Structure 1
Amino acid sequence: MKNQDIFGVSAALVTPFGADGSIDLGRLRRHARHLLDEGCDGVTLFGTTGEGFSIGMRERSAMIAALLDGGVAPGRIHAGVTATAVADAVDQARLALDAGARGLLLAPPFYFKGPDDDGLFRWFSQAIEGMRGDARGVILYHIPGQTAVPLSVDLVGRLKRAFPGVIAGVKDSSGDPATTKAFLAAHGELAILVGDERQLAEAMAAGAQGSICGMANLVPGLLRRLVHEGADSPAIVPLVDLVVSYPVLPAIKALVAHMHGDAGYAGTRAPLIDLGPAQSATLIAAYDAIAAPQPDRKSA
């Protein structure tokens, strides 16, 4: 049975850069349209895979406008918010919300390590209040491997009670199934999303609502069938294992370039470094061998 009444699959959209380092808005728009046509429910700009940490405010505005001008409905767009200052987080959020975006992927402040829940609650509260009455669709971003600032189950509870109807979910990119289960047990009425596609089938069976993820740039159809129909694919785990055996973001972009037959998608922005030609060729050959058409199987 298809399950349409859930968050679904949003691609953590890669950001194409031109040879001069500027954002290639044409390629961005084409890639977004391709993913939506191939099964994604939405796209998320400025996430980890999209190198949102390296994208400034004027560029963010241009990217949102490019998608809207290209016919992407604002209700299919989420925007990542990555900032340490509350004022910067509010500016990033309001830019997207004012354009009509469905919601936000809101990361915690990441410069100071080990803040307690009281401090994080204060930061998130000030950020949400700064959005005034426009705050909506806030997905709290638990990605301690990058931020080194985990979000506790209790903190999520405090925020959802303080901002009912605003806190919409949690994206768990911890890579720890026990953490996902804890979020589901305590906050199952929210959209609990999984960042590690290898754990998605198990999480969906336990009540998760989908994913915002990097692999949706490459296999949107496989992920859509898993999320909406319970049709797992034996290709997903080995594909993810392959990608994470390389520097992840450059690998995904190399594969997006391969998928489109367009090397213009492969470039990353400093401090990241692109894969070299030999690395890319080895990755692509292994990827193609795994991604050859395979029958889907129903999740247990």
Structure 2
Amino acid sequence: MDIDLKSEREKALETVEKYKMSGKLLARYNKLINFKGAIAAVAVPLNPDGTVNHEMFNAYTDHLISIGVGGVYINGTTGEGLSLSGAERMAVVQAWFQAIRTKKPDMLVIACISSTVVKETLEQANFYAIMNVDALAVLPPFYHRPETNDCLIRYLQSIYKAAPSLPLIYYHFPEMTNVKLDIRIFLEEAKLRVPNLAGIKYTCKDMAAISAVGYDLRHKYKIFTGYEECLLPMASMGIDAGICALFNFREAVTRWQAILNYFPSDLKAANEQQDGINDMKTIFAGGNFIHNVKKAISEETKGLVKLGKPRPPIHAHDQ
């Protein structure tokens, strides 16, 4: 099935006009929905004592630029965001922002603001709006979980009020959050009530749900693939962007670009590239994934980027 991406983006822009977004929000929305390629779910550099290693952000940024990454996703799962304090998370985003704006200003900077404390989430949203990052991302509350679409929508509305100038990406990761509302229905309802809700980081392997989201919602949201194993299936539905941990590595970025170039004219070649990414994921899955990613980044950069070990509750015997 051929998909006219230009037409889809025009439909998305019509949606923006409908909700009369502010000038700043509209500009950032356009940057987000027109993005194509790889966004690295970045790890957090830590010293041996577990504190944030602020000396590594420049070298890490240089590495990502050199392998063709188009953006960074900060304080997510790979970035151990929920193992950092609120102050640490804000300092980490600030360090990334300064390094990227100095070295490659057009790179997307997405800050994840997930927390079990709503006040903390809103403080981060406001802080990043003042900083002028490109977009926010947030998981649903995952301890006292929302039981209805309305409850979750109200949560997202509070984020909009705290940062009305920033596009918001909803981070759908039911395997970790256990929030299992019907994502398609939720997003249809949320679009009418959350003006800055612009995208989805879709980390789910349910192919039926992927199909529903991909075909039904791609003209209303920018959809980012979250699982490396699903890059080709999502590409088949016109999804041309991913936020993945393996995009810290040249091979995965190169293979993803090849998938986008090959599909749909050469499905065999695209499948071969997806198989290569799957093989990478299998290797990293042995032991603790975050530890393996951090160690491999150091190896790929020949020690120029030292990220340290993950924080507890990831322990040595998990590694």
Pair in the same fold by TM > 0.5? yes
1:115 maps to amino acid: E
Counterpart selection for 2:98 from 69, 83, 104? 69
1:257-277 superposed Cα distances (whole Å, 9 cap, x missing partner) = 22123283241111112578x
Query: Given residue 125 of structure 1, which amino acid in structure 2 is its aligned partner?
Result: Q
Is 1:88–2:117 an aligned residue pair?
no
> Could you tell me whether the CA contact under 8 Å between 1:125 and 1:159 is conserved in 2?
no
Whether 2:191 is the aligned partner of 1:160: answer yes
Alpha carbons 1:250, 1:275 under 8 Å: kept:
no
Percent sequence identity over aligned pairs: 23
Q: Deviations over 1:93-135 (max 9, x none)?
A: 222222111101111111124622121122222222232x32x
Q: Which residue number in structure 2 is paired with residue 250 of structure 1? A: 291
Tell me if the contact between 1:10 and 1:41 (Cα under 8 Å) persists in the aligned partners: yes
Q: Do the aligned residues in 1 keep the contact of 2:153 with 2:194 (CA within 8 Å)?
A: no
**Structure 1 unaligned blocks of 5 or more:** 280-300
Contact 1:39/1:224 (8 A) holds in 2:
no
Gaps in structure 2 of 5+ consecutive residues:
7-32, 264-268
Matching residue's letter, 2:125 = A
Q: Distance in 2 between matches of 1:38 and 1:275?
A: 32
Shift in Å, 1:75 = 5.4
What is the deviation of 1:7? 4.1
Superposed structure 1 runs of 4+ greater than 6 Å apart: none
Pick the aligned partner of 2:255 from 201, 222, 232.
Answer: 222
CA distance in 2, matches of 1:183, 1:34: 33
Q: Is the 1:172–1:194 Cα contact (8 Å) retained in structure 2?
A: yes
1:270 aligns to 2:312 (yes or no): yes
Partner-residue secondary structure (3-state), 1:265: coil
Distance 1:113 1:65 in 2: 29
Report whether the alignment pairs 1:146 with 2:176.
yes
Pair 34,264 (structure 1): closer, same or farther in 2 beyond 3 Å: closer
Do the aligned partners of residues 209 and 168 (structure 1) sit closer, same or farther apart at CA in structure 2, a change above 3 Å counting? farther
1:108 equivalent to 2:110? Answer: no
Q: How does 1:25-64 map to 2 (within 5 A)?
A: 25-64=54-93
1:235 counterpart SS class: helix
Q: Which amino acid aligns with 1:172?
A: Y
Q: 1:68 to 1:80 in 2, by over 3 A?
A: closer
- State the 1:42 CA deviation: 0.3
Structure-to-structure mapping, 1:104-253, within 5 angstroms: 104-113=136-145, 115-131=147-163, 133-134=164-165, 136-151=166-181, 152-164=183-195, 166-189=196-219, 190-218=221-249, 219-227=252-260, 230=263, 232=270, 233=273, 234-253=275-294
TM-score by length of 2: 0.78
Give the conservation status (yes or no) of the 8 Å contact 1:74–1:99.
no
Higher mean Cα deviation, 257-266 or 174-183?
257-266
1:22 aligns with one of 36, 51, 60: 51
What is the DSSP-based 3-state SS (H/G/I as helix, E as strand, rest coil) of the residue aligned with 2:55?
Answer: helix
- Any idea what the Cα deviations from partners look like across 1:144-182, whole Å, max 9, x if unmatched? 111111352111111112134x11111111122222211
- C-alpha displacement at 1:49, in angstroms? 0.5
For 1:285, the equivalent position in structure 2 comes to none
- The alpha carbon displacement at 1:91 in A equals 1.1
CA–CA distance in structure 2, aligned partners of residues 84 and 19 of structure 1: 27
> Cα distance 1:97–1:209, how it changes in 2: closer, same or farther (>3 A)?
farther
Taking a change above 3 Å as real, the CA distance of residues 272 and 228 of structure 1, as seen in their structure-2 partners, is farther
TM-score, normalised via structure 1 length: 0.82
> Aligned partners of 1:15 and 1:107: how far apart in 2?
19
- Distance (whole Å) between structure 2 residues aligned to residue 258 and residue 80 of structure 1: 26
Give distance in 1, aligned partners of 2:107 and 2:280: 30
Deviation at 1:15, TM superposition (A): 0.6
